[in-house]
Structure 1
Amino acid sequence: MASLRHDDAAASFDPLRPKLVRVAYRMLGSVADAEDAVQEAFIRWMRADRAAVREPEAFLRRTVTRLCLDQLKSARRRRETYVGPWLPEPVIEEEEAEDVTLPLMLALERLSPLERAAFLLHDVFGVGFEEVAATIERDPAACRQLAARARSHVREARPRFRLDRQRGLDLAAAFFQASRSGDMSALGEMLAADVSVHADGGGKRPAVGKPIEGFDAVTRLQTSLAVFFRKNASTLLRTVFVNGLPGFITREADGELQTTALEIEGDRIAAIYVVRNPDKLRHLH
């Protein structure tokens, strides 16, 4: 009987799992935590009176969101003691993401958990405010206010124009080549005047301890890194979209993976996001 219940629950849950993982990941910024939340939702789905649930997707989305709100409390405490800049775990996609890019996820970090939930559910996933209200246990008017406050905070993080997919990947490949070979002339042509570098090593691998900002500071950093790369080869594995931004995956000299994502404005690189923390790269293996 237990096996039959499991199969019955899985048959209705599994088609929704990818959507639920998307919700959870965008709430938490962690692949492992998102998968844990979705798995806990499945356990609750098995125990639920499923015949009484009229809209399984809404029920499960509500369950996952509430689990994520609970997790955010402990996640925020962990990030207060995090070593160096914190970046979300990289999600690799073949196409550019249109809903939530890496800069937007960083902007979401500055919101309260309820603002984050209201904004994601309504503005990103198209959920009506009645369901948002039922999910976060606030009235619809309050949910509209939460979403409006969130919207004002994250407006600047929205992409201002759509980047041609192939152009983005070509620029990522060119950046890899110039940064590793030490071609500072070619690299300088790619960088915006206010370019910044954000590197997440989590205290596990060497990385800059705070964001590096401005053309001169970033080119100095890249010049010193090029000297390092001459002795410690970095291998390009794939050019891909990392959290919706063009970038690449490399295997570094220490044998570990690394992701680099490029925020591009016009034809120039405005920000460089590097994830080196091995704990955040396990799922890529």
Structure 2
Amino acid sequence: MSVFDDYRNLLFSVAYRILGSAADAEDAVQDTWLKWSAADRSRVADPKAYLVRIVTNVAMDRLRSAKRAAYIGPWLPEPVLTSGDAPDVAPALLLVLENLTPLERAVFVLKEAFAFSYEEIAEAVDRSPDSVRQAAHRAREHVRSKRARFTADRDRQRAVTERFFAAAAGGDINTLMELLAPDVTLWTDGGGKVRQAMRPVQGAERVAAWLAGVGSRPYQGVRPDEMAAALVDLNGEPGLVISGAGRVLGTITLDLDPAGRVTAILNTANPDKLASVQGGVVRDL
């Protein structure tokens, strides 16, 4: 195995957390390979640091040029299938990171997810250690204000996810109201290609009514009784893959509070973001 292959999974993981897109992360890894191939590797003392620097800067450049503002409806991270022992890369967290600058996001990812030192990050992003510390502080404060640092027990996450889907599919508003936090937000990403809410739906009553309504009528030509839900690992936590008519229709992941109530629902249905799930590609994050 080549040196590059030794670090390919790490490079994908860094790029995915910065970009929130598996397809873009793969492109960033490929660009990194091209730069690595053209480099004078005899002068590279630390291949890991060198490759992480390349992929981080490629990902930041891609993030700067991303046209999120032109996206139709809410933008959500691309879901990926993971193994049961994968680290948690919750879509809700990646969504919070969307409001950071590319530098803040890269610094947060390298520090919080991969435990790089400030000096190593400074070298990777070509900044001083002090500026990196400041960017890390801003990023942490933003994440802390938008999403509490709480990770639900996997068994509880799985149980709530199963109960949530049964209630939504059956139009059981009473159970949905029990499961939903009062200030819950539903994000639906259709990318303008399939029918979805064009703005986030907020509040338990509105979200429960929206879910019950969607579960009672055909979607993309597929009747509710023709749909099936599989409980799988998405981004390192239990999630749902909704299928029908031989294709994946969407994915659902939930964010829970310490009481086990649903605070965020992320429903990705843009076909362009479902390719790896449709193909059953399991990622090592």
The alignment's TM-score, normalised by the length of structure 1, stands at 0.89
Q: Report the counterpart of residue 153 of structure 1 in structure 2.
A: 142
Letter in 2 for 1:89: E
Higher mean alpha-carbon deviation, 236-245 vs 184-193, is at: 236-245
Instruction: Note if 1:23 corresponds to 2:14.
Output: yes
Instruction: Note if 1:136 corresponds to 2:125.
Output: yes
* Residue 275 of structure 1: how far off its partner (Å): 0.2
Q: Report the counterpart of residue 104 of structure 2 in structure 1.
A: 115
Q: Which has the higher contact order (CA 8 A, sep 6+)?
A: 2
For the 8 Å contact 2:92–2:266, the answer to whether it is kept is: no
The alignment's TM-score, normalised by the length of structure 2, stands at 0.89
What is the CA deviation profile of residues 223-267 of structure 1, one whole-angstrom value per residue up to 9, with x for unaligned ones? Answer: 212321694335334212333443210114694431000111122
CA RMSD of aligned residues (A): 2.0
Q: Report the counterpart of residue 36 of structure 1 in structure 2.
A: 27
Q: Using the alignment, how far apart are the partners of 1:52 and 1:158 within structure 2?
A: 43
Q: Using the alignment, how far apart are the partners of 2:204 and 2:268 within structure 1?
A: 21
Higher mean alpha-carbon deviation, 23-32 vs 47-56, is at: 47-56
Letter in 2 for 1:212: V
Q: Report the counterpart of residue 235 of structure 2 in structure 1.
A: 243
Q: Report the counterpart of residue 283 of structure 1 in structure 2.
A: 276
* Residue 57 of structure 1: how far off its partner (Å): 0.7
Q: Report the counterpart of residue 282 of structure 2 in structure 1.
A: none
For the 8 Å contact 1:79–1:86, the answer to whether it is kept is: yes
Letter in 2 for 1:281: L
Instruction: Note if 1:60 corresponds to 2:27.
Output: no
Letter in 2 for 1:242: L
Letter in 2 for 1:262: L
Q: Using the alignment, how far apart are the partners of 2:84 and 2:149 within structure 1?
A: 18
Q: Report the counterpart of residue 271 of structure 1 in structure 2.
A: 264
Structure 1 segment 219-238 matched on structure 2, within 5 A: 219-228=208-217, 231-233=223-225, 235-238=227-230
Q: Report the counterpart of residue 4 of structure 1 in structure 2.
A: none
Identity percentage of aligned residues: 42
For the 8 Å contact 1:104–1:157, the answer to whether it is kept is: no
For the 8 Å contact 2:169–2:212, the answer to whether it is kept is: no
Higher mean alpha-carbon deviation, 36-45 vs 253-262, is at: 253-262
For the 8 Å contact 2:248–2:277, the answer to whether it is kept is: no
Q: Using the alignment, how far apart are the partners of 2:226 and 2:51 within structure 1?
A: 43
Q: Which runs of 5+ in 1 are unaligned?
A: 1-9
* Residue 98 of structure 1: how far off its partner (Å): 4.6
Higher mean alpha-carbon deviation, 161-170 vs 79-88, is at: 161-170
Q: Report the counterpart of residue 281 of structure 2 in structure 1.
A: none
Q: Using the alignment, how far apart are the partners of 2:86 and 2:206 within structure 1?
A: 30
Q: Using the alignment, how far apart are the partners of 1:162 and 1:83 within structure 2?
A: 30
Bigger-Rg structure (1/2):
1
Q: Which runs of 5+ in 2 are unaligned?
A: 279-285
Within the candidate set 106, 109, 115, 1:126 is matched to 115
Q: Report the counterpart of residue 188 of structure 2 in structure 1.
A: 199
Structure 1 segment 41-52 matched on structure 2, within 5 A: 41-52=32-43
Q: Using the alignment, how far apart are the partners of 2:244 and 2:122 within structure 1?
A: 47
Q: Report the counterpart of residue 60 of structure 2 in structure 1.
A: 69
Instruction: Note if 1:102 corresponds to 2:94.
Output: no
For the 8 Å contact 1:95–1:165, the answer to whether it is kept is: no
Q: 1:32 to 1:58 in 2, by over 3 A?
A: same
Higher mean alpha-carbon deviation, 231-240 vs 26-35, is at: 231-240
Q: Using the alignment, how far apart are the partners of 2:166 and 2:30 within structure 1?
A: 41
For the 8 Å contact 1:87–1:275, the answer to whether it is kept is: yes
Poorly superposed stretches of 4+, deviation over 6 Å: none
* Residue 65 of structure 1: how far off its partner (Å): 0.5
Higher mean alpha-carbon deviation, 221-230 vs 56-65, is at: 221-230
For the 8 Å contact 2:251–2:267, the answer to whether it is kept is: yes
Letter in 1 for 2:252: T
